[in-house]
């Protein structure tokens, strides 16, 4: 009854995140505890050489996800939602959604997954002396200019997916600073777009004769805790097709999936970080100071409250590992044994811990697709050994676990070894960490730092944006985001922590020497198999 009353009175916060394969909604109570959830499965489409999502599907997905949440609330608590304390939206970062003055979409949504902006990204990186990855919104805009695309002259506003959804529900063209940092570089001192770089960009395109200036078409930057508008009547009708949800609910700044991941793992403070390891893998570390130079392997983004973050993003992580586990599953079936998939993962992962710390000389490359961090546009999964190497099951599995984090380690080592970046604790989340103690131990060895896994990490970005909505509603005057998370959400929770084993660290370093030296073998495989 107590929970039902909390829901009926709107003493809740709602977070919705648009992920690459699923839209997820999470409703939380005043302590941040998840009460109910809803979801909607979706996939991107490859249309005319562009990875995209149809905007009609965005709204269908949001509405069905929200209705799924309402069903869960009805089933669990026999309650109907008419109001909510606060709401937040987040989504995949980057990409390009451009609109004219009448809010018409000018070209299909270009997602982060597209690699069609190489020329623009390289030129802007050189111009700004700041790493501009291909995924970033400004790279998409500049590439469209370089391509002489007809639509560019009509751009009145461009934004990310989270910014677009937020705008349609509130009428406000705003963006959380974390999401904004994947559109255009942020000046950490001002918490806004870097004005010097905006001026450089305007000069760069001054001969094109556009009626707009860059600062006029970017969404306004807001920091965590600031109010970002309220749900309008039209917005309430768009979100809840049943018509029961009332307008006037406050919304927090829309954020990107990097920021919600940091929030959900309590790693928004300086010298904290998190690693998300699934189909792809990325790690983010909150930096104490700016890096001394530009590294193409390191993206600079921010936390939801504007602190500088060094991010290494790799395209490949567990796909090759999973493919090998499937081979063992197929073998078991051929022997007349029906293996439980979870047990199979557990047995094979734990077997890896019996292997040599350096994998006995074996190497593998898990490149299902290209891997920019190590210089690959295309990939080909590859396992390599010499005849005299110690080829056994333990070393074989350990090699594939090391390989899943090797490209990430190559990028992170630039921060740790070249820039002397310090991190006190990393939080792990994602599929690699599901088998207790294994992925965690390998990650601790790769990064030579303590790695913690929290019970709540599985709640993901929808929970993270719900927490940010809650923070906006409830924060005290001088309470920063880290204090709010430490004291009110994660109080007393440190997760299960694992320190790096010195032998594992030394073994991983030996493996990396072979791995980096053997990249020419992977290049040869890619070329030969074209």
**Is residue 406 within 8 Å of 318, Cβ to Cβ?**
no
Tell me the mean pLDDT in the region 172-200. 97
**Is residue 65 within 8 Å of 57, Cβ to Cβ?**
no
Q: What pLDDT was estimated at residue 360?
A: 98
Rounded to an integer, what distance in angstroms lies between the CA atom of residue 15 and that of residue 166? 12
Which residue has 């982060």 as its token pair? 112
Q: What pLDDT was estimated at residue 180?
A: 98
pLDDT at 418 over 80: yes
Identify the CATH number of the domain defined by range 10-256: 3.30.420.40
Tell me the mean pLDDT in the region 351-361. 98
Tell me the mean pLDDT in the region 309-329. 94
**Is residue 154 within 8 Å of 100, Cβ to Cβ?**
yes
Matching fold, domains 10-256 and 267-453+500-530: yes
Tell me the mean pLDDT in the region 211-217. 98
When pLDDT is cut at 50, 70 and 90, the band that residue 201 belongs to is very high
Residue 78, Cα to own-chain centre: how many angstroms? 34
Rounded to an integer, what distance in angstroms lies between the CA atom of residue 392 and that of residue 408? 25
Of 154-168, 284-298, 357-371, 455-469, where does mean pLDDT reach its minimum? 455-469
In 3D space, the residue among 462, 175, 182, 429 whose CA is nearest the CA of residue 282 turns out to be 429
Q: What pLDDT was estimated at residue 14?
A: 98
Rounded to an integer, what distance in angstroms lies between the CA atom of residue 306 and that of residue 186? 8
Tell me the mean pLDDT in the region 75-100. 97
Identify the CATH number of the domain defined by range 267-453+500-530: 3.30.420.40
Of 61-65, 214-218, 279-283, 442-446, where does mean pLDDT reach its minimum? 279-283
- Residue 131: in which H helix or E strand, if any? none
**Is residue 39 within 8 Å of 22, Cβ to Cβ?**
yes
Q: What pLDDT was estimated at residue 456?
A: 64
Distances (CA, A) of 454 to 2, 25, 290, 323, 490: 27, 20, 29, 27, 10
For the full predicted model, state whether its pTM sits above 0.85: yes
pLDDT at 494 over 70: no
Tell me the mean pLDDT in the region 176-201. 97
Tell me the mean pLDDT in the region 316-336. 95
When pLDDT is cut at 50, 70 and 90, the band that residue 1 belongs to is confident
Tell me the mean pLDDT in the region 149-175. 98
pLDDT at 307 over 90: yes
User: In sequence order, what are the beta bridge partners of 312?
Assistant: 283
pLDDT at 300 over 90: yes
Residue 23 DSSP class = E
pLDDT at 59 over 70: yes
When pLDDT is cut at 50, 70 and 90, the band that residue 279 belongs to is confident
When pLDDT is cut at 50, 70 and 90, the band that residue 147 belongs to is very high
When pLDDT is cut at 50, 70 and 90, the band that residue 458 belongs to is low
**What is the percentage of the chain residues whose pLDDT exceeds 70?**
99
Strands 13-18, 86-91: parallel, antiparallel or unpaired by DSSP?
Answer: parallel
pLDDT at 495 over 90: no
Whole-number average pLDDT of the chain: 95
Q: What pLDDT was estimated at residue 124?
A: 98
Q: What tokens appear for 86 in the block?
A: 């606060």
Grouping H, G, I as helix, E, B as strand and the rest as coil, residue 314 is: strand
Rounded to an integer, what distance in angstroms lies between the CA atom of residue 406 and that of residue 518? 12
Rounded to an integer, what distance in angstroms lies between the CA atom of residue 345 and that of residue 347? 6
Tell me the mean pLDDT in the region 391-420. 97
When pLDDT is cut at 50, 70 and 90, the band that residue 200 belongs to is very high
**Is residue 68 within 8 Å of 38, Cβ to Cβ?**
yes
E-only strand ranges, 218-339:
220-222, 255-256, 272-277, 281-286, 299-302, 308-314
Rounded to an integer, what distance in angstroms lies between the CA atom of residue 348 and that of residue 324? 10
The set of residues, in sequence order, having a beta carbon less than 8 Å from that of 151 and lying 6+ positions away, is: 98, 106, 107, 144
First-to-last alpha carbon distance for the chain, in angstroms, is: 63
Rounded to an integer, what distance in angstroms lies between the CA atom of residue 523 and that of residue 518? 9
Give the chain's length. Answer: 530
pLDDT at 21 over 90: no
The set of residues, in sequence order, having a beta carbon less than 8 Å from that of 418 and lying 6+ positions away, is: 295
The domain ranges of the chain are 10-256, 267-453+500-530
């Amino acid at each position: 009854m107590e929970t039902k009353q909390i829901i009926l009175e709107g003493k809740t916060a709602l977070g919705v995140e648009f992920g690459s394969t699923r839209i997820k909604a999470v409703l939380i109570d005043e302590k941040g505890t998840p009460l109910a959830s809803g979801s909607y499965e979706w996939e991107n489409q490859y249309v005319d050489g562009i990875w995209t999502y149809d905007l009609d599907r965005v709204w269908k997905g949001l509405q069905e996800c929200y209705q799924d949440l309402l069903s869960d609330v009805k089933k669990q608590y026999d309650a109907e939602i008419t109001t909510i304390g606060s709401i937040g939206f987040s989504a995949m970062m980057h990409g390009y959604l451009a609109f004219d003055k009448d809010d018409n979409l000018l070209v299909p949504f270009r997602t982060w997954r597209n690699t069609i902006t190489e020329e623009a990204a390289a030129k802007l990186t050189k111009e700004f002396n700041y790493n501009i990855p291909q995924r970033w919104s400004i790279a998409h805009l500049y590439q469209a200019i370089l391509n002489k695309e007809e639509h560019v002259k009509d751009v009145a506003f461009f934004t990310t997916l989270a910014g677009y959804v937020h705008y349609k529900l509130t009428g406000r063209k705003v963006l959380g600073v974390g999401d904004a940092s994947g559109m255009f570089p942020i000046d950490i001192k001002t918490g806004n777009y870097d004005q010097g770089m905006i001026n450089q960009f305007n000069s760069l395109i001054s001969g094109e004769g556009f009626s707009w200036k860059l600062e006029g078409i970017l969404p306004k930057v807001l920091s965590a805790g600031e109010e970002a508008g309220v749900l309008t009547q039209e917005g309430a009708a768009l979100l809840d097709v049943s018509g029961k949800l009332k307008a006037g609910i406050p919304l927090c700044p829309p954020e990107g999936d990097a920021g919600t991941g940091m929030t959900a793992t309590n790693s928004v403070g300086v010298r904290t970080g998190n690693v998300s390891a699934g189909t792809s893998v990325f790690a983010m570390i909150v930096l104490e100071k700016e890096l001394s130079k530009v590294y193409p392997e390191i993206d600079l983004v921010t936390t939801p409250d504007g602190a500088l973050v060094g991010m290494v993003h790799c395209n490949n992580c567990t796909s090759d590992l999973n493919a090998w586990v499937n081979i063992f599953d197929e073998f078991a079936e051929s022997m007349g044994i029906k293996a439980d998939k979870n047990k199979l993962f557990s047995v094979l992962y734990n077997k890896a811990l019996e292997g040599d710390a350096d994998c006995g000389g074996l190497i593998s490359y898990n490149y299902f697709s290209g891997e920019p961090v190590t210089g690959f546009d295309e990939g080909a999964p590859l396992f390599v050994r010499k005849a005299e190497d110690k080829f056994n099951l333990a070393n074989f599995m350990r090699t594939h676990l090391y390989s899943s984090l090797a490209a990430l380690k190559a990028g992170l080592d630039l921060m740790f070894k070249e820039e002397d970046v310090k991190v006190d604790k990393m939080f792990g989340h994602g599929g690699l960490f599901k088998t207790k103690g294994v992925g965690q131990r390998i990650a601790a060895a790769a990064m030579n730092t303590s790695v913690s896994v929290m019970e709540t990490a599985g709640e993901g970005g929808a929970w993270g944006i719900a927490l940010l909505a809650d923070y906006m509603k409830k924060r005290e005057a001088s309470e920063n985001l880290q204090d709010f998370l430490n004291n009110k959400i994660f109080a007393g929770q440190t997760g299960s922590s694992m320190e790096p084993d010195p032998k594992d660290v030394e073994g991983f370093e030996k493996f990396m020497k072979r791995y980096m030296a053997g990249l020419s073998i992977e290049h040869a495989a890619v070329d030969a198999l074209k």
